[in-house]
Structure formats: C-alpha cells, structure tokens
Chain A
C-alpha cells in the first residue's frame, strides 16, 4: 500500500444520480488498486485546515493512471458538498491509497456481492473487473435501492449476473413488488463455495448479512463494509 499523499488531477466529473457524482482522477503513475479498495481524499484550506474522507474506487483494476471515485452528497458533509458543488475538471486533489486488504476481490473465486445504496461502489469495481477478465460466472450482484433514481451505474446493472431490489418504489418493468431485501432475493444469487461481500449503511449491512447466514453462508465467508452516518 502506498502510504504517501499523492497529487491527483480531476479529468472528468460525471453525474450518476441526483445525489451521486463520479470523479475521474489521474495520477502520475498507475493507481494499482484492487477491486474493493478505497482512497482517502484530503482537502486543504489556505490557512492549513484540512478535512479528509475515504471513498471507494468504482473502476476496475487496470494498468492505467486513472481511477474513479463515486461520492454521495451528504447535506451536512463538509467534504462531499465541496466535491459536488465546487470541484471542477482540472482541479488537483491530494489522495492517499489505495487502502484496504480485506474487502477485496482478487478475481479468482466465487463472490456474491450485496450492496445497499451507495454501498454499490466498491462492488461495482468487482463486477466491472469480472466483466473485464471475462469471469462473470464468478460473480452475482444484488443491489438494494429506494427507487430507480438511486441506482448508480444503472446502464451497467444488466445481465443475468445482476438483480435489483427496490425498497420504496419499483419500476413498472419490475416483477418484484417494492419492499426490503429478503431471503428470496439472495438465494438465487448464491454460488457454491462463495465469499459474500456486503456493503451499505449499518442497518442494511446487518440485515443483509443476517439473511446470508440464514440461507447458509458461513459467517467466516461474509465480509462486510459498513458506513455512516448512523444513529446511536
């Protein structure tokens, strides 16, 4: 893992949903990240005040100097509001990473990916990696969102290796009524001898990981990444 702060240039900003943007960053050397890792982004004010937050990489591992971070806008988020409202193409940011050696998929064993909301981001790096290396047989993705407006990367969440659970409003094309994720949503996604990767807010992560245990995934084969903000 690189431990030093590096300069990155914003080369593109893409609006994913009303609340999420993807930033494409360019480094002086290859990113070298694994699917599931994150970077820390640090902002520095003229008087030296800094604020840093972690964001998952959405782009798959490759040899390039560029990588994507998808940032959800939190209204009281000091860093995410800046990244959404003020950042422009051509700006430079300091980043540190890639970081993380646990919530990582190396592309060589079966993986069931279960994401809630913006918890899809690190799982998307895994799905994209599987597609890039021609191993979609190794992955199944189940993503839970409130409605179509909250689905990141919607044009890529297609194909038999993906399914979407709508919790509040299901689109007319969906055969599943809106509602929280259940066993039946996960059972078809189980691959034999798989590791499960669960990412989302704490409540979703608990629900999804408990369901995976109920349908037979061993506790020690479930990797969880939770993020805030959350209640007490």
Chain B
C-alpha cells in the first residue's frame, strides 16, 4: 500500500461494526441497481424454491406472511463502500422455507433470482443457519420499491449485491453457477470482512 501525499482522512473513532474499507452512510441509504425498478403487486407476487429439493414450492404473498416471522437486527455492507448500521429487518427466515422444500443431499449452492431477471449465487451454507431472510419490512416500514420491495433476499453477512432485490426464488444446485455481478467482475462470495469485492480478491 502506498501513502497518498497529503491524505489523512476524515475520521472520528472508527465504529467496530464497520468492515475494512467501509464508511458509515448514516441516515442515507444509497440505491444501486442495474435495471428498471419494477412495480410488483403483492396480490400476484410469488416466491419459489426449486432445483435440488424434495418438494419444489411456490408461496403467494399471503402464504409467505402466514409463516413464522423472523427478524434481523444489525448492519448491511455495500461493495461500493457504504455500510448502514443498526437496521431492523423482518420477514421470514430462509431456513423456514427450506424446511418445507427440503434440500436434497446433493444441493450445495443456490442461485437467487429476481422478478427482473437479476441473479446472484451463494453457497447453500450462506443462506442456512439463521443467516438469510426473505425480508419485506425495514425499520418498521414496508420495504420500498427502490430498495427491492415488496420483498428482497437479505444475506447481511455478505456484500449487499447478494441480497437480491425483488427476489422471486432460489434454485438449489449441485454446482456453483455465477450470477449477474459475479459474471461482471465481482467476487464469487463477497465477504465484507475479507474485502472480497472483485474477482481476484
């Protein structure tokens, strides 16, 4: 690393919740997405788990809301270097959905997809064990369209492009299949604490 002449940085005490290279965006919540923001009606919205499962399952909005609610309290980290701290999310745990669909022993990866056609790939282990949600409420309000509403995937321990906006389902796979940003130069896994931002990190 090379010192930049004249740069000292604007720093208070560094919040220990910030992974390396991230800054606290405060009250702002930047919007970054690569496609037209869709307007999805909840009465026709669906979420599907398929692929290597015993019971491929599709839930309607109401069916999904009838499942036990689960919450996440904590931080999110975008690869573009902002983090948003101390958020309150609610929705349903991906564990709850997988308990219904029942992954086959050969399932090792998931490809999450969106109603827009966006995709992102994750190891199955990154969406199980209380680490991932399908979320529709944040800080007490319905999730806004710009942020992926009516519902998005929430995988807060990875960079936020993994938390697919407007999520429509998960496909369970034996092999890893690269998603949208992963094909376009970004890291396969995206752990913010390891700064896995781009290919080669």
Contact = CB atoms under 8 A, between A and B. Distances in A.
- Looking at chain B's contact residues, the main secondary structure is loop
B3 A46 contact: yes
Contacts of B28: 228-232
A94 B198 contact: no
- Looking at chain A's contact residues, the main secondary structure is mixed
Instruction: Place the interface of chain B in its size category.
Output: 35 or more
A82 B9 CA distance: 9
Interface string A113-128: 0000000000000000
A45 interface: yes
A114 B41 CA distance: 28
A188 B83 CA distance: 40
B201 A3 contact: yes
B117 interface: yes
A209 B95 CA distance: 36
Given A46-B3, A227-B30, A100 B184 contact: yes
A5 to B, nearest CB: 8
A220 B198 CA distance: 25
Interface in A68-127: 78, 82, 86-87, 91-94, 96, 99-103
B7 A82 contact: yes
A19 interface: no
B82 A228 contact: yes
Nearest to B10: A78
Contacts of B146: 202, 206
